[in-house]
Amino acid sequence: MTRKLAVVLFNLGGPDSAAAVKPFLFNLFSDPAIIRLPQPLRWLVAKLIAGRRTKTAIEIYNRIGGRSPILPLTQDQACALEQAIEGLGLGVTVKTFIAMRYWHPRAAETAAAVAAFAPDDIVLLPLYPQFSTTTTQSSLQEWHLAAAKAGIAAPTRVIESYPTDQGLIQAQALLLGKALDEVRSPVRVLFSAHGLPQKVIDAGDPYQRQVQQTAEAVARAVSRPGLDWVVSYQSRVGPMEWIKPYTEAEIRRAGSEGIALVVLPIAFVSEHSETLVELDIEYRHLAETCGVPAYIRVPAVGTEPAFIAGLARLVETRLATPAE
């Protein structure tokens, strides 16, 4: 009998309606990996932040159709990956599943579906190329709890990070090269990643180091001698210090120097509010007001064939190693 393989893809998720915005925000800020306070203080802080940010967040999502596109885009990636794994001829029946961290389908829902599939093997694949305690670790912790409650006992393997995976780098370099062809020099590539509080990095989180590794690999792969590039960080909230340089500061610097910008979301593999609103609308407006000669945004890798093929190879390689 053919063995059955379940591949579980993890992402943050996003609200699918205006009514979902407030509970989505509460789920986000009640995560102990995000708000590192003991209960019940964390619950109270999450309620406060969600209440204060709901109106602004609804306005943000209204600019992109009233909902986050991340679930349908992740579903597209899951379908493409399933086909790519089948094409490897591994002799398994493969089915992909999606577990979102802060909105549906949550880990408990997905674990129930995986249990019903009754796989012989499971591979957990976060759609965060760079590992962070705030994303990968948080998602995996929730999964392990949900899987235990669902009675899942199949051998499970984890792909924790892949910041320099050949498929990821090839896909990003291809998209970056197309964007660079659209603009005349002088031009600077801005590898923009979601930020983290500096204290998270100081505590040993490898995210910033791995983001740098991804950017260096893409810069090499694009094969543009003398390429001017920098890594920057976006989406910070609150008064605390976040990792630098900030994307908006780099946009202002480019404007003062009269340098065009090609902006690549180095840590996002699918489009969502941080790319479609923050990068495409808010930062574009900032670039225009700061005198940046040109502002071109590189798409997220999405279902680029090289990226999906890379994920399939990661699954194949991990499947050949011992389970946890």
Detail the residues annotated as belonging to a binding site. Answer: 194, 274
Neighbour-count burial of 85, counting CB atoms closer than 10 A to its CB (0-12 exposed, 13-18 middle, 19+ buried): buried
Q: What is the DSSP string of 228-291?
A: EEEEEEE---SSS-BSSSBHHHHHHHHHHHT-EEEEEETT-SS--HIIIIIIIIIHHHHHHHHT
- Please answer whether residues 147 and 114 qualify as being in contact, where contact means their C-beta atoms are separated by less than 8 angstroms: yes
- Residues 7 and 119: their CA atoms lie apart, in Å, by 10
- Please answer whether residues 130 and 80 qualify as being in contact, where contact means their C-beta atoms are separated by less than 8 angstroms: no
- Please answer whether residues 211 and 131 qualify as being in contact, where contact means their C-beta atoms are separated by less than 8 angstroms: no
User: Which residue ranges are tagged as binding site for Fe(2+)?
Assistant: 194, 274
Q: Which two tokens stand for residue 62?
A: 């209204």
Strand pairing category for 156-158 and 121-126: parallel
Q: Which residues pair with 157 in a beta bridge?
A: 123
* Residue bearing tokens 């001829």: 89
Using DSSP's 3-state secondary structure scheme, residue 197 falls into strand
Give how far Cα 94 sits from Cα of 4, 79, 82, 111, 230, Å: 6, 11, 7, 16, 39
CA atoms within 13 A on the CB side of 304: 22
Estimate the share of the chain in helix, then strand, then coil, as percent rounded to the nearest 5: 50, 15, 35
Using DSSP's 3-state secondary structure scheme, residue 64 falls into coil
CA atoms within 13 A on the CB side of 130: 22
Edge-to-edge strand order for the sheet containing 295-297? 228-234, 187-194, 260-265, 295-297
